[in-house]
Amino acid sequence: MEDSGTSPAQILIIDDEESILDGCRQALEKTGYVVVSSSDGHEGIGLARAKKPDLAFIDLKMPGCSGMDIIEILSKEMPGVVLIVITGYASIVSAVEAMKKGAYDYLPKPFTPDQIRAVTKRGLEHRSLKIEAERLREEKERMERSFITFVSHEMRSPLVTIMQYFETLKVIADSDLSESARDIIDRCEKRLQSLHDLVDHWLDLSRIEDGSFSEARIPLVLNEIVEKSIEELSPLCQRREISIESSGRADMPKILGDQESLLRVFTNIIGNATKYTPPGGKISVSMDYDDYYVYVNISDTGSGIPSDKLPFIFEPFFRVKGKDERQKGSGLGLTFVKKIMDAHTGKIEASSKVGVGSTFSLKFPRLYEL
Ligand SMILES: Nc1ncnc2c1ncn2[C@@H]1O[C@H](COP(=O)(O)OP(=O)(O)OP(=O)(O)O)[C@@H](O)[C@H]1O
Ligand SMILES: [Mg+2]
């Protein structure tokens, strides 16, 4: 929404009666407003689009064009413009209908110069308040975001330091530590790692939201990124006795993307598959493409997600309650994944059957290099 600043407010009048146009123009110009006008509805819409006035008076009854339609179009297209209908005495009902469609006020005919000036003043005051409220809302959002980023940043470095101290403590006091003392240190380390992951996730999310997350889009082939994330996770899979395999076509087309964030997308999804699949299970990653998209499907034979919970898994902090709850997590992994997919104009969907497994289907627009 733009601010009128100190320049005089611009008023548009659309009315088929020339005498009304002249009367309004005189009354408003005398007060210092800039007035543009049209006696034709279609031309009036064009004028509104070109001039972006602060306020518009629109006659409801015009030959060949309904004022109601103009109200509907302008209120959708230009929510910053205050719309006021000019109505005949007997048409209060249509004035009410116009206000439902987005008009702010109405001016019944006939009216005096003072009346149109009063309605204009009220409409412009309403506009300034709306602009101010919008500015405050944006400011509040910005402050909330930077606060979260600030707190996460400030937490991250002491956390890393404490983790390093524990590491050192284990090295220097190794043989002096009793079994139970070592157990407590291990527990502390696990908790610290979760907190560290949470802070990292949170920082990633706020970086995406404030637009400072890496957005270097380069042409790339997904095979390499998928293979790299499988490689990163294979020690964990081995420990959990889960097999992992990938299949694809040799001539996969390129997509436009950011290598680092896409690697995190796959490590998050495959990491989940590893976390929520019991020993002996299997993870399969398959890749394919058609003329328009490149597809990656990641399936596991894990615990599955109940169908009533499935719509929420991309929401921040959402975790399915149940036996998998013992697995540590912040519930931010998939929120991050979804945002990165959106930033790549990609799509992600999940399907799942409890006790059978889950499949995450990703699709990316295929890149055609000219
Ligand atoms: N492959 C899967 N199989 C079963 N449940 C899953 C799977 N992937 C995700 N979920 C469910 O969706 C929830 C949200 O996943 P998400 O990755 O966002 O969070 P998380 O894994 O709990 O924590 P983290 O932030 O560490 O990733 C999980 O808690 C889990 O309940
Ligand atoms: Mg996760």
List helix spans (H) across the chain.
Answer: 18-30, 41-51, 67-77, 92-100, 113-172, 179-209, 222-239, 259-275, 333-343
* Domain around 203: 141-209
107 shares its domain with 174: no
Residues 166 and 233 in one domain: no
Do 168 and 260 lie in a common domain?
no
Of ligand 1's listed atoms, the one at least distance from the Cα of 318 is 14
Residues 225 and 202 in one domain: no
Residues in the chain: 370
Dihedrals phi, psi of 161, to nearest 5 degrees: -60, -45
- Give the domain CATH number at 176: 1.10.287.130
**327 C-alpha vs ligand 2 centroid, how far in Å?**
10
**What CATH number is attached to the domain comprising 321?**
3.30.565.10
Residue 204 CB–ligand 1 contact under 6 Å: no
Q: What is the pLDDT of residue 4?
A: 45
Terminal Cα-to-Cα distance of the chain (whole angstroms): 38
From 209, 229, 244, the end of a domain falls on 209
- Among the three residues 162, 190, 209, which one is the final residue of a domain in this structure? 209
100-120 pLDDT per residue, tens: 999 999 999 889 999 999 999
Q: Are 246 and 226 in contact (CB under 8 A)?
A: yes
Q: Is 273 in the pocket of ligand 1 (CB under 6 A)?
A: yes
- Taking Cα atoms as reference points, which of 226, 209, 253, 27 lies closest to residue 118? 27
Q: Which atom of ligand 1 is nearest to the CA of 327?
A: 22
Residue 72: both structure tokens together: 């509907």
Residue 370 located in a structural domain: no
Q: Is the CB–ligand 1 distance for residue 201 below 6 Å?
A: yes
Report whether 11 contacts 34 (CB < 8 A).
yes
Q: How far is the CA of 165 from the centre of ligand 1 (A)?
A: 30
Whether residues 338 and 236 share a domain: the answer is yes
Residues 357 and 229 occupy one common structural domain: yes
169 in a domain, yes or no? Answer: yes
d(CA 104, CA 55): 10
- Other C-beta atoms lying within 10 Å of the C-beta of residue 291: 7
* Residue 357 zone, left/alpha/beta (φ > 0; ψ -120 to 50; rest): left
What is the count of structural domains for the chain? 3
In a domain, 331, yes or no: yes
Q: Is residue 271 part of a domain?
A: yes
Backbone angles phi, psi at 238, to 5 degrees: -60, -45
What pLDDT does 1 receive? Answer: 40
Q: Is 357 in the pocket of ligand 1 (CB under 6 A)?
A: no
The single residue listed with the structure tokens 């006659």 is 59
Report yes or no on 116 lying in a domain. Answer: no
From CA 370, how far away is CA 365, in angstroms rounded?
15
Residue 1 in any domain: the answer is no
Amino acid at 201: H
Give a yes or no: residue 152 inside a domain: yes
DSSP string, 66-120: EHHHHHHHHHHH-TTSEEEEEE-TT-HHHHHHHHHTT--EEEESS--HHHHHHHH
Peptide bond into 79 cis (omega under 30): no
The closest-lying atom of ligand 1 relative to the alpha carbon of residue 332 is 25
Distance of alpha carbon 45 from alpha carbon 40, whole angstroms: 9
Q: Is the CB of 305 under 6 A from ligand 1?
A: yes
How does pLDDT run across 211-236, given as a tens digit for each residue? 667 677 899 999 999 999 999 999 99
pTM of the entire predicted model? 0.62
Pairing of strands 65-66, 61-62: antiparallel
Residue 99 inside a domain? The answer is yes
Query: Which candidate, 60, 24, 58, 55, places its Cα nearest to that of 121?
Result: 55
What local confidence, expressed as pLDDT, does residue 8 receive? 94
Q: Output the pLDDT for position 326.
A: 67
Q: Domain of 54: which CATH number?
A: 3.40.50.2300
Examine the fold and report which residue of 155, 174, 209 is the final residue of a domain before the chain moves on: 209
Residue 293 in contact with ligand 1 by CB distance below 6 A: no
pLDDT under 70 in the chain at which residues? 1-5, 89-90, 211-212, 214, 323-326
